Structure 1
Amino acid sequence: MRRHFKPDHTKPKDFDLFWQETLNKLDVIDPDPIVTATEHSPDHPELVLEYVTYLSLGGVRITGLLTHWHDNLPRPLVVYSHGYGCQCMPQWSWAETGLNCFGVDVRGFGRSHNALTAPSHWGWVLSGIGSPETSVIRGAVCDYIQGAYVAERILPNPTTHHTFHGVSFAGALALKSASVLGSPDLLAVGVPTFGWTEGRYIFVKSGSGAQINHYLANHPERLDDVMLVMRYFDPVNFADSVHCPALIGLGLKDEVVPAKTVYAI
């Protein structure tokens, strides 16, 4: 397999404008963070887990998990999310090394399940597939970005470095958020999904890509429209705007996120 691979350019002409306008819409929303519950580490009295809800794009309320040190020491912040169809877990072990961590359950999943009011019966990824403006993926990226804002806002201690982290579905969210925001200090992702829209249609055998393929098998006349919408969320089209150091992992044999779709990024 070729280790250096770049598919044909498919970036929509208004791609940058679309994301700038999306970020502008998000910027005017006061996240109104609310801590709904708190847990304490039995081993470290100053280490706490706070369940935080906040407002994101469209005025929906998202839930995040802030595992942090309740002190005045400057610390790095890691923002992360979850896999497709999953939810975040508290990252106690990361925090015990001295980090602050904020996990985002994006709309439609986990503790933010009810934030997606009209999920598609074809699968989460097909929700709002009629246009990039209505796509649930747009909202999910905004949930991640807003989570980074919220964590910075409510932490009691200053942040020294920002890392965006994620694996698979969350890896794609982290990469896209890093691009739209102008990059954190570090991007660390594994097998980021949604890469190379056209290639996914050919190579993916399960996961969100299989849901898209199943939908298109029943609606072949919508192929071009769906491919166009997904290009607005293809990590290939975000990668050139990530300017921080990046660590990206891939699986050489992966039916959910085939290696070719990661090499394309």
Structure 2
Amino acid sequence: MSIPKTHPFDFDPTYGMPLAELLAVEPPEAPEGFDAFWQARYLKALAVDPQPVLRRSKITHPDWHVLDLVYLSTGSFRIGGWLILPRKGEVRRGLVVGHGYGGRDRPEFDLPVKETAVLFPCCRGLSLSARPPISQNPSWHVLHDIDKPKSYIIGGCVEDIWLAVSTLVALYPWLSGYIGYSGISFGGGVGAMAIAYEQRIDRGHLTLPSFGDQPLRLTLPTVGSAQSVQEYYKKHADVLETLRLYDAATAASRIKVPMLVAVALFDPSVAPPCQFAVANAIPKCNEIFILDAGHFDYPDRAEQEAILRDKVGQFFRVP
């Protein structure tokens, strides 16, 4: 174990919690109407025709065909991204890959998957899906419409994931029921909310998931987008009403498919107890993989990430 001993933060990114305590963290109680709120949004998203448009990308790779992609999400929001297809073998599985709050400027080609169509959407307001007046700065993006429970941008980002699934099904109808999701940090939290109600996803992988246990998230010193939400909360305490509807841990307790979740013991950006709140809440979690740290470098990082990569490859192996 190589939890960082020195760091530049004026708080302890382990929050003084050993692994046993972290594994005992429970999700918060769901607010009234939580399931009805999300089920209605999911049904509305299912009715949207994503109308995907593909064109050959300027990005090339020896193992993958690379296509630039645009599809329509809810509210006719144009979502940009990429679709990569294996040069060898059939397409027998689909995979939607979310991104962190830094967005994405190209697809990932080192994913340990074969015979898989991989879709990399950029959630609304970020990277290829940038659109004024939404800020691409995570500290501002996370606040967009936070005062409007039904319009908060995080909900739109969840819908963008659902429409990514719709896009894969529109292009490859035989993949329905064989589509996975993988997301890190921002993409992990949004992914938990999406998978909870998405019946066409058969398994999911989350790393360092954000947006877990929102009431607790507001109280723990942190950096990045969570700090921005904390500053807003100090002046607008009623925002908790919105945040409780967008709680990845509450959503995770509704997930019914196998999951592989990687969580960290030390993380200055996504507090570990909030990550564990998500992982611990999942009823059928196949495995919780423990990283020494997240959003921060550490001695055993490459070795741990290599082990996790192998597990991800096995997890998304074509049936």
State TM-score, norm by structure 2: 0.74
Matched, 1:171 2:168: no
Counterpart contact for 1:102–1:147, Cα < 8 Å? yes
Letter in 2 for 1:57: T
Match of 2:40 among 18, 21, 38: 21
State TM-score, norm by structure 1: 0.88
Aligned to 1:78: 95
Q: 1:1-265 alignment to 2 at 5 Å?
A: 1=18, 2=21, 3-9=23-29, 11-39=30-58, 41-44=60-63, 47-69=64-86, 73-87=90-104, 89-94=106-111, 97-114=114-131, 117-119=133-135, 123-155=140-172, 158=175, 161-182=178-199, 184-217=201-234, 219=235, 222-223=236-237, 225-265=238-278
Distance 1:69 1:19, change over 3 A: same
Report % sequence identity. 24
* Counterparts of 2:213 and 2:196, CA distance in 1: 16
Residue 183 of structure 1 deviates from its aligned partner by: 6.4
**Which consecutive unaligned segments of at least 5 residues does structure 2 have?**
1-17, 279-319
* Counterparts of 2:257 and 2:56, CA distance in 1: 34
Aligned length: 257
* Counterparts of 2:95 and 2:45, CA distance in 1: 21
Letter in 1 for 2:261: I
Partner of 2:111: helix, strand, or coil? helix
Distance 1:77 1:146, change over 3 A: same
Partner of 1:185: helix, strand, or coil? strand
* Counterparts of 1:155 and 1:263, CA distance in 2: 35
* Counterparts of 1:73 and 1:173, CA distance in 2: 29
Partner of 1:92: helix, strand, or coil? coil
* Counterparts of 1:255 and 1:183, CA distance in 2: 34
Distance 1:96 1:117, change over 3 A: same
TM-align CA RMSD: 2.4
Counterpart contact for 1:167–1:190, Cα < 8 Å? yes
* Counterparts of 2:220 and 2:97, CA distance in 1: 27
Distance 1:74 1:37, change over 3 A: closer
